[in-house]
Amino acid sequence: MNRTVTVYDIAKEAGVSVATVSRVINSTAPVKATTRDKVAALIEKYHFQPNGLARSLLSKQSKMLGIIMPNIKNPFFPDVFRGAEIRAAKEGYALFLCNTLGNEETESAYLSILRDKQVDGILFLGGRVNRVRCPKDRVQEVAALNQRIPVVLVNGQLVGSGCCRVYTDEEQGMRMLVEHLLQAGHRRIGFLGGMIDDSTTKQKLKAFTDTLQAAGVEVREEWVLHGDYSMTSGMNVMNRLLELAERPTAVCCVNDFAAIGAIKALVGRGLRVPDDMAVAGFDDTPLASWYTPELTTVSQNSELLGETAIEVLLALIRKQSARKSTVLAPELVVRQSTGR
């Protein structure tokens, strides 16, 4: 096996020093035309490409970023990823994608790997680490990491970590959604959440409760149920709800997946959406507009979210000032699943 070509090989064959080769590669200082051409020809001949690791070692920036998320299979995350990727690519950064499935060990393991790989920054999307309540040592783990490598929390919160945050105002989104349901005449509204300690669930539930109370509508404890964020869980939770003696006429779901699962459960019992029960999702994933019935949901503008998060991260990397919190406005998207 032929060893990889290095600047030294090029230099030797061109009869110049490695410094000159480097100068030709990076146009960092003038080189005599004939020399330049000779070196350039050799680079072309061997398809030489400098070793990025060696360069990174010296420059102390790897041009690599890590993005950690619970589950790439939930279409919300690919959307965010795309936004992040587009923005990152523009600045020459490549992205490690790390799925944790909400598993804490996996999360820690990835954190360690990313540090090992010397990523310049990390994007954290709503995972375990983004919980409202979180063991002190996890907070400290992230806080310590954040001292070395900039970490941006996306749609999440980790009090005491000192990380910058970029998030959609999910509370406002839920408020708009509930108000839409109230306006449509619903007075019996349920809530299908995710894990109760995740900030995304917590915020939505808070807005749900507040908005109903402000309107003088009762919040029925038995109609507030929790699952995870999968379709299966949405279906199961809805089935539990349907076993109650009294049912709501509408439910808000923590995300589109849960909504679809819920609808499946309803349809499975011969109930119709929205006639028998209105169902609303959250995130406005592509699914939402293609599902039958089309889903009423709250758009997060997920790509923009990813893009913005990267922008904040880049600012931190460049030691420019970045605001601690960047909030994006959600948008209510009314479709068939709650419609008249």
Partner DNA sequence: ACTAGTTATGAAACCCGTTTCATTACTGGA
Partner DNA sequence: TCCAGTAATGAAACGGGTTTCATAACTAGT
**Exactly one of 59, 140, 213, 292 binds DNA (CB under 7 A); which one?**
59
Compare residues 32 and 117 and give the one whose CB is closer to a second copy.
Answer: 117
Q: Give the pairing type, strands 250-253 and 278-280.
A: parallel
272 sits near a second copy (criterion: CB under 8 A) = no
Distances in whole angstroms, Cα of residue 187 to Cα of each of 149, 183, 203, 276:
48, 9, 21, 14
62 binds a second copy (CB under 8 A): yes
Shortest separation between residue 106's beta carbon and DNA, angstroms: 24
Return the residue of 12, 138, 240, 264 that touches a second copy, per CB under 8 A. 264
Within 1-135, where are the H helices?
7-14, 18-26, 33-46, 52-59, 76-90, 104-116
Figure out which of the listed residues 12, 13, 35, 72 binds DNA, where binding follows CB under 7 A: 35
Among 41, 109, 215, 329, binds a second copy (CB under 8 A): 109
Residue 17 lies near DNA (rule: CB under 7 A): yes
One-letter amino acid at 290 equals W
CA distances from 175 to 167, 207, 209, 297, 327 (A): 16, 6, 9, 12, 16
* Nearest partner of 190 among 259, 287, 132, 292, judged by Cα: 259
CA 70 to chain centre: 9
Alpha helices by DSSP H, 60-135: 76-90, 104-116
3-state secondary structure of 340: coil
Nearer to DNA, 1 or 58 (CB): 58
286 binds a second copy (CB under 8 A): yes
Compare residues 114 and 241 and give the one whose CB is closer to a second copy: 114
Is 147 a binding residue for DNA by CB under 7 A? The answer is no
Q: Which of 37, 41, 45, 52 binds a second copy (CB under 8 A)?
A: 52
138 binds, among DNA, a second copy, none (CB under 5 to 8 A by kind): none
Nearest to 306 by CA among 162, 106, 61, 93: 93
**Shortest approach of DNA to residue 103 CB, angstroms?**
27
The residue among 317, 303, 313, 298 whose CA lies nearest residue 81 is 303
Q: Residue 140 touches which of a second copy, DNA, none (CB < 5 to 8 A by kind)?
A: none
Q: Exposed, middle or buried by CB within 10 Å (0-12, 13-18, 19+), for 10?
A: buried
Integer Cα distance of 333 and 143 in angstroms: 37
Contacted by 114, from DNA, a second copy, none: CB < 5 to 8 Å by type: a second copy
Give dist(CA 271, CA 251) in Å, integer: 14
In this chain, which stretch among 3-11, 93-101, 148-156, 326-334 interacts with DNA, using CB under 7 A? 3-11
Binding site for a second copy (CB under 8 A): 4, 47, 49-54, 56-57, 62-64, 72-73, 75, 78-79, 81-82, 85, 89, 92, 94-99, 106, 109, 112-118, 144, 148, 231, 260-261, 263-264, 267, 286-287, 290-292
Binding site for DNA (CB under 7 A): 3-8, 15-23, 25-26, 28-32, 34-36, 48, 50-51, 54-55, 57-60
